[in-house]
A and B are shown apart, each in its own frame.
Chain A
Amino acid sequence: MMGWMHQHQMALRRAFSQLARQPVAHLVGVLVIAFALSLPAGALRLIDRAASLGQGALHEPHLTLFMAQDADDAAVRAVWDNLAARTDVREFRYISNTEALAEMKATPGLADAVSALDRNPLPHTFVIRARNTAPQALETLRKGLAGLAKVERVQVDSAWAKRLDALVQFARRGAGGLTVLLAVAMAFTVFSTVRQQVLSARSEIEITHLIGATPGYIRRPFLYFGILQGLLGSLAAALLLWLGSRWYNDAIQPLSNLFAVNLLLPALTLREWALLGLAGIGWSWISSYLSVSMALRRIAARC
């Protein structure tokens, strides 16, 4: 048991000394991993922030239905009945043109202008809340209502949120592609540095193999080396993310104040830290395992 622990300790020490021996060369590898982890993570955080803005607006999305100017009580009644019967409408409120006018008269600054009118120019309106607020569902409902008699126009008030949503989806897909690309770059970096390590230790591997080192024993220092690289890469990625968030927040603060919306990135949660570390270490472990196995197969083709 002690021997087993000692072997792991030795393998780890060896991995460290490998890193220390060529710090500049390995720094490049660590930086590649750091960028591979932090760029998609940073992009996803920005996208999530943007998406949450949209969700705020989509929170209570509603449709506004404007009746035609010449709509009579019967037409209003018909729309009312239709809305009441629909299952995709959660609730609705009817605002007659008189009510609307009264509301405008009560608004300071508008009162004078309104009283100057000789007839009510406002249409009867319905404010409708849908049961399903997904953009597509809202659009279907809008189309259905627009086809009713004497309905002038139905407007989804969350059109911009819809556009944002589309943008967010697009950006997510882009970030997904970026993630895959960078994950491949990271795997390649770990793979090739570990491979180089294995091949340069070729004679030692052959000899230890001959005198009874198991494949696990031989693999160990190289796996540790790969994992160590992943760990350092994760730490560097965390640092980059933190610096990036700070820089972004500083830059966005004035805009945030101007538009009275919170565009600031929150601090990374513990879960996000863990995910970053896990991704870095796990992925580099897999890459180095593959690399070592393939390189060893080349060296010890005999057994």
Chain B
Amino acid sequence: MIALNAVVKRYPDGHEALRGVTLDIEDGEMVFITGRSGAGKSTLLRLMSGIERPTSGTISMHGRDITRLSSSALARLRRNIGLVFQDHQLLTDRNVEENAALPLRVAGLYGKELRQRVAIALEKVGLQGQAKASPLALSGGERQRLCIARAIVNRPRLVIADEPTGHLDKGYAHTILDIFKSFHSTGVTVIIAMHDTDSLPLPESRVLGLEDGLVGGDSEAESSEAM
């Protein structure tokens, strides 16, 4: 469903964060993107979610090249992707419920349906008791869960999460990963960037290693190359 071909991302300051990335991610896969800090994980996720455009190369989703879409079309594309950002991006002047509802509002939903969907999303991450709280009153882990609730409230078929376990202890990280696994088990494609490979769960999940802007290893590459 997502196919990157020779994707290069050079930032205006001349730094090349990605130097020719080619990869395919199928529908319903759960993929971990690993690599040390500065390897280009966030950059790769931003390109895949249409937040930024590559300097060269193509990125297609279900066969459609998204690098040529207008800003508005890219924005509409993002509505169908559940995004969890490395730096949370929560609105501190809105309560938990309103933060989780934001993607629905952007998509034009309101009223009873909106409230129902928000309640379901908060329940899925275990925040139903804190709907009226301020994000500032949440712990780091709870904030992370709020970000996940916001990402899935629109029932996306693709979830892209950047370091969702970033500042959490190992036990909590597993709880968060379990939430993602439960989405994956319903057929949702999940892409997660992580630099802390210790907390990586199942050995059978696909792991893409980024090294200095290039794909250094792909746990599934052997099987696809054999074909």
Contacts and interface: CB of A to CB of B under 8 A. Distances in A.
Interface string A204-223: 10111111111111000000
B78 A210 contact: yes
A7 interface: yes
B74 A303 contact: yes
A210 B106 contact: no
Given A210-B51, A210-B83, A211-B150, A217 B91 contact: no
A206 B89 contact: yes
B77 interface: yes
Given A207-B91, A211-B102, A303-B52, A3 B75 contact: no
A302 interface: yes
A6 interface: yes
Nearest to A211: B103
A7 B110 CA distance: 9
Given A6-B110, A303-B71, A212 B89 contact: no
Interface residues of A, number: 21
Interface in A98-152: none
A206 B87 CA distance: 12
A208 B85 CA distance: 13
A210 B102 CA distance: 11
Contact of A212 (B52, B53, B78, B110): B78
Interface residues of B, number: 27
Contact of B71 (A4, A203, A207, A215): A215
A170 to B, nearest CB: 51
A302 B11 CA distance: 10
Contacts of B108: 3-4, 6-7
A303 B51 CA distance: 7
Interface string A146-189: 00000000000000000000000000000000000000000000
A278 interface: no
Contacts of B103: 211-212
B85 A210 contact: yes
B186 interface: no
- Choose among B76, B83, B89 the residue with the greatest number of A CB atoms under 10 Å from its CB: B89
Contact of A209 (B53, B75, B77, B90): B75
B109 interface: yes
A232 to B, nearest CB: 26
B105 interface: yes
Contact of B110 (A3, A208, A209, A216): A3
B86 to A, nearest CB: 12
Nearest to A6: B110
Interface in B96-151: 102-103, 105-110, 150
A270 to B, nearest CB: 37
Contacts of B76: 212, 214
Contacts of B102: 207-208, 211
Nearest to A207: B89
Contacts of B91: 203-204, 207
A165 B108 CA distance: 59
B72 interface: yes
B206 interface: no
Contacts of A208: 102, 106
Contacts of B184: none
A10 interface: yes
Contacts of B53: 303
Given A207-B89, A213-B106, A216-B72, 6 more contacts: A207-B90, A207-B91, A211-B106, A214-B75, A217-B75, A217-B106
10 contacts: A10-B110, A210-B78, A211-B78, A211-B106, A211-B150, A212-B75, A212-B103, A214-B71, A215-B75, A302-B51
